[in-house]
Structure 1
Amino acid sequence: MTTTFDEAAFQQLKTEVTEWVRGRGEEWAEEIERTGQVAPELFQELKDRGWLGLAAPAELGGRGIPFSRYLEIMEIVSRSHASIRMLVHVINGTWRAMQPYATPEQIEQVVKPSVAGDALVAFTLTEATAGTGADIRTTVRREGDTYVMNGEKHLITFGVKCDYWLIAARLEGTAGQDGTIAFLMPNTGLPGAEVIDDSDTMGIRGTDHAILRFTDTPIPASARLGEEGQGLEVALGGFLLPSRVSVAMSAVGLAERANELAVEYANTRETFGKKLSSRQAIQFYLAENYADIAAARALVLEAARAYEEDRADAGTLSSASKMVAVDMLARVTDKALQVHGGQGYWKRNAIERVYRDARAQRFEEGTNEIQKLVVGRAVVTGQAGF
């Protein structure tokens, strides 16, 4: 509860995270870019610092930081390497999808270990031949105490190295949301489960991504999360709604880093005897970036409060905040790179990595086209709140 929130301890935490991001975090960023891997030592460091369980409640072993305040930490973490942000973002979010539906055994075997950083859970919804979720084609059929799965998933973050796939499928012969079903499916070499490493991406280097193919793969019925028919409820309401707000704040944090790099460069680079920062054209870029970031941040925090308060417009604001923030990030990083001129195109400069990483957030947790559909439907039906 926010009534027992320790503000002084929280401010100390923000200071700790900020210092790490600017120091050790930058060293790790360079290492990730050099090797293309997130080292086990980095994961252990995040775990030891307790940053993988910031948002989860105390009964799950987390710190119980309220969602809107947790986003202040996500804002700072997002100024670091995208793979570091991804670890903190995903692990601090998957418990929300699992907890309301998990059995006591699943809480002890999967949810608590996930919050502690002892088990990695990969959110597994996206398919190459499906769109927003209700049309998923991966199927299962019940055979006694076992479900048998067939289908394919792709773009699954942490899908290669995870311990469990938080996976959504549908019962054979069903259509729409009612036939969907979720599982905490162990990544333990199940028969018929093929895991293809698909991690060679433009940005977010170091984070593994998988293509998953299932051919008559058996899943014990005890791995089901929730009841039959609740699959999309688990995936969309439990994970995607707050996760979109978190991604939106990630865009804010990365945009702040991009503009910071642009300011630093403008204050050191001279042309024709003057600092770039003294030139009106450059100041206009930086001013536009500042205003863009501030406006997006305000909307993100409003969306976070709506989620905390379980307001009717929480889903609409979640999509709106993500839509606005990632478009803002594209504008800010483009201008920040332009301030650097040709120098910004070289990998030796941090803005090059920031520019690449920023592009991924345009489709993470649903493309902007999907977010516009969500918001547009709410507006035309009078459910948008104003």
Structure 2
Amino acid sequence: MTLTTEATTAAPGIDTAEFELLRAEVAAYVAGPAEAWAERIEHTGEVPEELWSELREHGYLSLAAPREYGGRGLSFPQWMDLMELFSRSHGSLRMIVHVVNGTWRAIDRFATPEQRERFVLPSIAGRIKAAFTLTEPDAGSGADIRASVVREGDTYYLTGVKHLITFGVRCDYWLLAARLAGSSGHEGTVALMVPRDAPGVRVEDTSQTMGVTGTDHARLTFDRTPVPVANRLGAEGDGLAVALGGFLTPSRISVAMSCVGLACRAQELALRYARDRVTFGRPLTSRQALQFMLAENEADIEAARQLTLHAARRWEAGDADAAMLSSMAKLTAVDMLGRVTDKALQVHGGSGYWKTSPIERVYRDARAQRFEEGTNEIQKTIIFRELLSRTEADR
């Protein structure tokens, strides 16, 4: 693994008083302006550029970056605390905050000083958008990637197809993993910053999704697209290390906390409805069946929250089990979210099925978390692989 000595280390975080003020500010934003944005996005089906600008002006796109990079300097657990709040809002708003606060980190771990100036700092400042570009239609999101490059002098020529790429339409760069033509396994992979306006690229907007309305997704076809070798992060062979360790491990933890936040929103809506809805002269909260459902939800949410925070602390400490814990947290939180949103919708009865009900959007958005940053089946594979390797080591 190639790391530059200039790469920043994990931030210790900001003091408690400053953090509590920031947390209150974010909570107020989520409850107020973010809800207005949610209504607009659901009505138009699009996320306007003004929302990106507003989030940038509030400093919400640089919360996780260190102060010396122009960020707020939060520790990773502090950032996860705020991620929970943002996730109670619209899925697309959450996605913006989640992705932008994460992609810079993957770039930075392997960046040269010159690349840090070109890519990392502008990303944190909101001057450029980078889209994480790993998934392919005919391969898994790992060592079997098929997009390939051929090097000719100081240029790589990229050929292949990527799909389901979040912000792949409106980005400035694709943070892309490919492999050297003819290679196999991790050793032949490379990570490239591919300019959005590079020749030989066909971009298809595939944004018509069940939930997370307005987040643009793209299918990308590259036909000998030229990419400067100077845009490679790390060495040849580091491609999956950039993608998996630099982005996916902390991102899976962030997605797990997104599940916690969205589940909290579902629980809030269910409790409010159950208090206000009266049948046979009594509120729904007087029915033991509903009491048990909501009690189970609360316990489910808290268990997922604590596992996710544990994974966040271990990742920030650089512990070897962070990748396994990130998959555990994501697996647990996704399953929890499915149970909680299903019960929350059931509390609403038939009225929750209509688009005029806030729980309807929450229910749709929740389904996307089951495949974001890898399906639960992938998470189980990762967990078992680590478990087996530990067993072998103990022999």
Partner of 1:165: 174
Partner of 1:98: 107
Aligned CA distance change for structure 1 residues 314 and 217 (closer, same or farther; 3 Å): same
Does the residue aligned with 2:230 lie in a helix, a strand or coil?
Answer: helix
1: CA distance, partners of 2:12 / 2:116: 26
Does the residue aligned with 1:100 lie in a helix, a strand or coil?
Answer: helix
Over residues 237-294 of structure 1, what are the superposed CA-to-partner deviations in whole Å (9 max), with x where a residue is unaligned? 0000000000000000000000000000000011111101110011111001000001
TM-score, normalising length: structure 2: 0.95
Following superposition, the deviation at residue 96 of structure 1 comes to: 1.2
Q: Which residues of 2 match residues 176-325 of structure 1 at below 5 A?
A: 176-188=185-197, 190-325=198-333
Structure 1 position 66 matched with structure 2 position 75: yes
Does the residue aligned with 2:122 lie in a helix, a strand or coil?
Answer: helix
2: CA distance, partners of 1:154 / 1:147: 21
> Which of 150, 155, 162 does residue 141 from structure 1 map onto?
150
Following superposition, the deviation at residue 42 of structure 1 comes to: 1.0
2: CA distance, partners of 1:118 / 1:353: 31
Does the residue aligned with 1:17 lie in a helix, a strand or coil?
Answer: helix
Asked if structure 1 preserves the Cα contact closer than 8 Å seen for 2:270 and 2:344, the reply is: yes
Partner of 2:25: 16
Asked if structure 1 preserves the Cα contact closer than 8 Å seen for 2:328 and 2:383, the reply is: yes
Following superposition, the deviation at residue 383 of structure 1 comes to: 6.6
2: CA distance, partners of 1:385 / 1:58: 40
Over residues 106-131 of structure 1, what are the superposed CA-to-partner deviations in whole Å (9 max), with x where a residue is unaligned? 21121111111111100000001111
Does the residue aligned with 2:199 lie in a helix, a strand or coil?
Answer: coil
Partner of 2:49: 40
TM-score, normalising length: structure 1: 0.97
Does the residue aligned with 1:99 lie in a helix, a strand or coil?
Answer: helix
1: CA distance, partners of 2:90 / 2:298: 21
Asked if structure 1 preserves the Cα contact closer than 8 Å seen for 2:12 and 2:74, the reply is: no
Does the residue aligned with 1:92 lie in a helix, a strand or coil?
Answer: helix
Asked if structure 2 preserves the Cα contact closer than 8 Å seen for 1:98 and 1:225, the reply is: yes
2: CA distance, partners of 1:383 / 1:299: 23
2: CA distance, partners of 1:88 / 1:130: 28
1: CA distance, partners of 2:341 / 2:206: 26
2: CA distance, partners of 1:105 / 1:228: 18
Following superposition, the deviation at residue 318 of structure 1 comes to: 0.5
2: CA distance, partners of 1:3 / 1:170: 36
Amino-acid identity (%):
61
2: CA distance, partners of 1:19 / 1:385: 50
Asked if structure 2 preserves the Cα contact closer than 8 Å seen for 1:124 and 1:153, the reply is: yes
Read off the aligned partner of 2:351 and give its amino acid letter.
Q
> Which of 326, 346, 360 does residue 352 from structure 1 map onto?
360
Asked if structure 2 preserves the Cα contact closer than 8 Å seen for 1:148 and 1:216, the reply is: yes
Partner of 1:378: 386
2: CA distance, partners of 1:295 / 1:80: 21
Aligned length: 385
Structure 1 position 175 matched with structure 2 position 165: no
1: CA distance, partners of 2:141 / 2:378: 7
